[in-house]
């Protein structure tokens, strides 16, 4: 097991993790030009394709041992909803067929498909699983909190391990010590603002009040959405799921700020020297979409051990 490709490669979580686990990532594809630009900057030795994978010519893809893929999750995740008949969600769910198409043409020995656990609730999941099985793959779903793999973030994801074997390949995943949010938060940087200022939402003030009562002067909290409810989160536990939008705020006494893009990348376990856009919104979008590299590395290491 030496070579791999990365479908829906984004800013490179799977590729970074795969390389750390000893794989040579030959080819990476994504439809988003900005993501391809930054993936190329961090992994110049990999062949890059900027393409809608619905139109891919899989015969042109280099032969590989492992297919790594993260089809779009927005049509499955509870965070975005999935209203019936929503064309955007219907189209995003259809990206799951790209790994099937590649598997039919190139027949790699292994594939690992990352998505949200709700992927298996998709009405077409039985057909998807049947297609992979008809191509000779045994399927072993692993639902994993990436915090248990040493990522400093609670992020529950499905890793579907597909192997050309008679029986499903169930990985033995060690449980690593959780990494606290305080390990990735730098209280000496960032754009801080007073908590008590005109226009601050009542729900934000309630979270701050409740957070102080539970955790003292320093903690993190969701700035919008349900998140951790109307309270904060201790710095002694991993931060909550990093999303594509600014979600997590840091509180320090009477001041607060949103987490930085560098902190978000650290929460995702990207190496410190990873190149990223200077534009904060773009960097957060790419980061929130990524597979945590350390989670990818440890899944692949376990796959190598089991193969």
Supply the CATH number for residue 76's domain.
3.40.50.150
Task: Report yes or no on 179 lying in a domain.
Answer: no
Span 84-101, average pLDDT: 73
Residue 77 pLDDT exceeds 60? no
Span 180-203, average pLDDT: 93
Paired tokens of 180: 């606290």
User: How sure is the predictor about 64, in pLDDT bands with cuts at 50, 70 and 90?
Assistant: very high
Residue 190 pLDDT exceeds 70? yes
170 and 210: one domain?
Answer: no
Domain extent, residue 209, equals: 187-259
Q: What's the CA gap between 85 and 77, in Å, rounded?
A: 16
38 and 85: one domain?
Answer: yes
Task: Report yes or no on 105 lying in a domain.
Answer: yes
61 and 131: one domain?
Answer: yes
Span 9-23, average pLDDT: 96
Q: What's the CA gap between 103 and 222, in Å, rounded?
A: 40
114 and 192: one domain?
Answer: no
Task: Report yes or no on 123 lying in a domain.
Answer: yes
Instruction: Specify the pTM.
Output: 0.91
Q: What's the CA gap between 90 and 110, in Å, rounded?
A: 27
Mean pLDDT of the chain: 91
97 and 161: one domain?
Answer: yes
Residue 226 pLDDT exceeds 90? no
Which segments within 34-168 are labelled E, that is strand?
A: 47-50, 66-69, 110-115, 138-145, 156-163
Residue (of 53, 43, 40) closest to 8 by Cα position: 53
Question: How far from 19 is each of 28, 99, 238, CA to CA, in Å?
Answer: 13, 20, 25
**pLDDT tens per residue across span 234-274:** 999 999 999 998 889 999 999 999 999 999 999 999 999 99
- Residue 123: Cβ within 10 Å count: 8
Q: Give me the residues paired with residue 252 across strands.
A: 218, 255
Number of domains in the chain: 2
């Amino acid at each position: 097991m030496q070579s791999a490709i990365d479908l829906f490669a984004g800013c490179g979580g799977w590729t970074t993790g795969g390389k750390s686990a000893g794989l040579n990532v030959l080819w990476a594809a994504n439809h988003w030009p900005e993501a391809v630009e930054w993936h190329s900057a961090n992994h110049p030795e990999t062949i890059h394709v900027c393409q809608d994978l619905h139109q891919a010519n899989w015969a042109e893809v280099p032969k590989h041992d492992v297919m790594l893929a993260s089809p779009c999750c927005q049509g499955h995740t509870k965070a975005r909803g999935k209203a019936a008949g929503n064309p955007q969600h219907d189209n995003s769910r259809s990206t799951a067929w790209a790994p099937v198409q590649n598997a039919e043409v190139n027949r790699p020995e292994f594939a690992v498909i990352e998505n949200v656990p709700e992927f298996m609730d998709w009405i077409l999941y039985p057909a998807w699983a049947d297609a992979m099985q008809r191509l000779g793959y045994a399927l072993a779903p692993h639902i994993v909190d990436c915090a248990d793999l040493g990522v400093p973030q609670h992020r529950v994801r499905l890793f579907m391990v597909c192997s050309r074997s008679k029986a499903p390949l169930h990985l033995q995943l060690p449980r690593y010590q959780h990494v606290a949010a305080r390990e990735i938060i730098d209280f000496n940087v960032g754009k801080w603002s007073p908590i008590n200022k005109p226009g601050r939402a009542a729900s934000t003030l309630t979270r701050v009040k409740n957070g102080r009562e539970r955790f003292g002067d320093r903690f993190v909290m969701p700035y919008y959405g349900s998140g951790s409810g109307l309270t904060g989160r201790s710095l002694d536990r991993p931060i909550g799921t990093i999303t594509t939008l600014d979600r997590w705020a840091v509180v320090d006494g009477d001041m607060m700020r949103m987490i930085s893009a560098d902190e978000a990348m650290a929460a995702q376990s990207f190496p410190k020297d990873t190149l990223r856009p200077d534009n904060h919104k773009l960097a957060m979008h790419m980061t929130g979409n990524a597979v945590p590299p350390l989670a990818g590395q440890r899944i692949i290491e376990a796959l190598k051990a089991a193969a």
